[in-house]
Chain A
Amino acid sequence: MLDGIEHAGFAPVGFRTVHGFAYLGNLLAPLWDVDPLDGKILKKGYPYYPEVRQALDTLIFNGLVDLTKLEAKCINSEWVAEGEIGLNYKAARPLLDKLDVFSDEKAVRDFLKALAFSVSPFADELPHIVMSDVTWTDNRTGRGDVIDFAEYRNANYSLNVANAFDRALPTSMIPSRGEKLQFYIHLLEKRASVLRS
């Protein structure tokens, strides 16, 4: 994820942005024929993955990820450690190069780059934009419940929307998968800006 974010030029990024990015990645990965790393999420507060946080802590400790800022921040009346991170290429490049040998890993890396490019115009607002996600805001899952979009159920409405863009447009404008990704992120941004105003 951080490699994609660095390529798109919006690193360093806040922890919350990374979690939001991971969430969108899990939802939209099938567009690139990639399996999501996690097919469920707890609908509470904002998209948050304890495993991602743990992995980031380890990567920072190992020097693969640069911690450029760390502060206590009050989010939704809760004090949390917030910081900004980026990839330490000097340390990470040999590992990334090795990963490219495996086609599955390369597909994941390509997808995450494409997602980062799509998100980049709105990177600063990503934590807010994610809150407008079609699956997250679906009222069939209540707050405090687990949204299961690809674990036991097949209830990924975000992916359905992204896939249905070719039906929303005239047949002469069939979008590529990259454009579907762009359109979906724009849709979330539009929804978020309506909420803000």
Chain B
Amino acid sequence: MKSANSLDLGNSSIEEMRRVALESYGEQPDSSIDPVDQFYTRVVRVTRNRLSTENSISIEVANGDFAVFVLTSELREDRKRLSADRVANVEKGPQLAGHLWLVPSTLHSAGRRAFSGTTLGDAMDEIESLGLGNQPAIAIEFSKRTISFYPTGVEAEESVVRLEVGEEDLESTPVLNLLERFAEKFVVTPNCQESQIRTWLDGTNYIPVKAAEKNIQELLWLFLSSRLIDNHKIEMEHTLRSGRVDIVIRKRMAAGLWKTSAAVELKVVRSFSSTGRPTPAAALVKHIARGYKQIREYRKELEATEGWLVTYDMRKIDARGNDLYSPHSAAAVADELNLHLEALYGTADDYRDSCAA
């Protein structure tokens, strides 16, 4: 009998526990996280697996090139109702293309049903006609290497997020590169958004939506999860003693050996609240100072190689004069923290003017 600080561990030991935990870390989705997020990470993993060799891609392309996964909490009932076949192991199982896959968020089993149409548009109509239009869904297009994520179902076209499945590795792709590409593809202007999850309530008047920071965080998590290969674990709202860090990226260096590559704290600065009330400049300075303190502690606690404070600037163009990071620049060098400011524009016109300037 061994103990961990007076806990009676029966016939187990800390050594056995450490071995098992490090082996299985990142392998299974965390059962305390949101089922829709789990569903997304599992489908990305399966997709990446199918896109890993020329042979597996050609099998999928030959079978219609697209597949749609629909999340269900009543798999057995739905399978029966829709006369779908039972498939035990989707991750290592048969080709996906040409089929509708009814899955729980674990993806450990599925109901499979062949689409009667030949285009993705037909498939979406079929899903709606089967009464599955308001369940979270993911469409994969293999030859394009893209996934379209419908968090509230295919009926809600406006909430779709389109992402490219990548094979990137943090060892070769710098975090800054990923952050810049994310901003460029998803948030820099309302027009460029590959996602239609809105950041602006009224872009012309620089009024962001209330949940701008949360929406950006979720989009960044989706982006990183689709871009970085499977030996990375990307966590959102990871709980630490010192608080909850927005994004943590870990990398498995070898079996049972993990490195915390980066801790990222996100902030949004704005001229107006979502109700149009002006935000005092002093409050923004305080907001950034708080973010700086947070990331300093988070990085320390996580023993992360890199710590990033990323601020999305949603202020009016004429209010962007003062450098929000200047009070922290010297300390950031000493603390080895990265401060990154990403300017967002409420209209494409403003973005063009800024580029020209």
| A residues at B contact (CB < 8 Å) | 6-12, 86, 89-90, 113-115, 117-118, 120-121, 123, 134-135, 137-139, 155, 157-158, 160-161, 163-165, 167-179, 181-183, 186-187, 190
B5 contact set on A, CB distance < 8 A: 164, 167
State A86–B304 Cα separation when bound (angstroms).
Answer: 45
Interface of A is mostly: helix
Q: Which B residues lie within 8 Å of A113 (CB)? A: 31
Interface status of B20 (Cβ within 8 A of chain A):
yes
Report the stretch among B103-111, B182-190, B339-347 that lies at the interface: B103-111
Q: A187 contacts which of B17, B25, B106 (Cβ < 8 Å)? A: B17
CA distance A171 to B29 in the complex (A): 20
**Which residues of chain A are near B23, meaning CB under 8 Å?**
186, 190
The residue of chain B having its C-beta at the shortest distance from the C-beta of A170 within the complex is B303
The distance in angstroms between the C-alpha atoms of A75 and B105, with both chains bound, is: 33
- The digit string for B1-37, where 1 denotes a CB below 8 A from any CB of A, is 0001101111110101110111111001111110100
- Bitwise, B92-134 to A at CB < 8 A (1) or not (0) is 0000000000011110111000000000000000000000000
Pick the contact of B12 from A8, A115, A173, A187 — CB < 8 Å? A187
Given the known interface contacts A117-B31, A186-B23, the answer about A168 and B240 at a Cβ–Cβ threshold of 8 Å is no
How far apart are A172's CB and chain B's nearest CB, in angstroms?
4
* SS class, residues of chain B in contact with chain A: mixed
CA distance in complex: A115, B25 (Å) = 17
CB <8 Å contact, B32 and A178: yes
The answer to whether residues A120 and B108 also contact, given A168-B4, A186-B23, A187-B16 and a CB cut-off of 8 A, is yes
Residues of the B chain whose Cβ atoms lie less than 8 Å from the Cβ of A7 = 35, 73, 104
The answer to whether A12 and B4 have CB atoms under 8 Å apart is no
Partner of A6, one of B10, B32, B33, B76: B76
A164 to B, closest residue via Cβ = B4
Residues of A within 8 A of B304 (CB): 172
Q: Which residues of A contact B240 (CB under 8 A)?
A: 174
Query: Any chain A CB within 8 A of the CB of B170?
Result: no
Contacts A118-B28, A183-B20 given; does A12 touch B10 at CB 8 Å: no
Within the complex, the shortest CB–CB distance from B79 to chain A, in Å, comes to 10
Residues from chain A with a CB closer than 8 A to the CB of B12 are 134, 157, 161, 187
B79 and chain A: residue at smallest CB distance:
A9
Pairwise interchain contact A114-B32, C-beta atoms closer than 8 A = yes
Q: A9-B109, A172-B303, A178-B32 are in contact. Are A164 and B17 (CB under 8 A)?
A: yes
Contact across chains for A165 and B17 when beta carbons are under 8 A apart = yes
Interface contact A178-B106, CB-CB below 8 Å: no
* With A9-B104, A134-B10, A167-B14 as contacts: A172 and B302 at CB distance below 8 Å: yes
**Across-interface contacts of A9 in B (CB, < 8 A):** 75, 103-104, 106, 108-110
Min C-beta distance of B8 to chain A, whole Å: 6
**CA–CA, A175 and B258, complex, Å:** 13
- Known A-B contacts A164-B7, A167-B5; the reply to A117 vs B105 at CB < 8 A is yes
Cβ-neighbour of A157 out of B10, B35, B73, B250 (below 8 A):
B10
Compute how far the CA of A6 lies from the CA of B104 in the bound complex, rounded to whole angstroms: 9
Complex interface: chain A residues within 8 A of B10 (CB): 134-135, 137-138, 157-158, 160-161
Q: Of residues 233 to 261 in B, which have CB atoms within 8 Å of A's CB atoms?
A: 239-241, 250, 258, 260
Q: Enumerate chain B residues within 8 angstroms of A172, measured Cβ to Cβ.
A: 260, 301-304
Contact B302 A168 (CB under 8 A): no
Q: How far is the CA of A50 from the CA of B65 in the complex (A)?
A: 52
Asked if B77 lies at the interface with its beta carbon under 8 angstroms from chain A, I say yes
- Contacts A164-B14, A174-B241 aside, 7 further interface pairs with beta carbons under 8 A come to A9-B103, A155-B8, A157-B8, A172-B302, A176-B32, A182-B28, A183-B24
B20–A176 CB distance below 8 A: no
CA separation between A192 and B20, bound complex, in Å?
13
CB-defined A-B contacts under 8 Å, sample of 9: A120-B108, A121-B108, A137-B10, A167-B14, A168-B4, A172-B304, A182-B24, A182-B30, A190-B20
Instruction: Return the chain B residue nearest A176 by Cβ.
Output: B32
Give the distance in Å from the alpha carbon of A176 to the alpha carbon of B38 in the complex.
15
Most chain A beta-carbon contacts within 10 A, residue among B30, B258, B304: B30
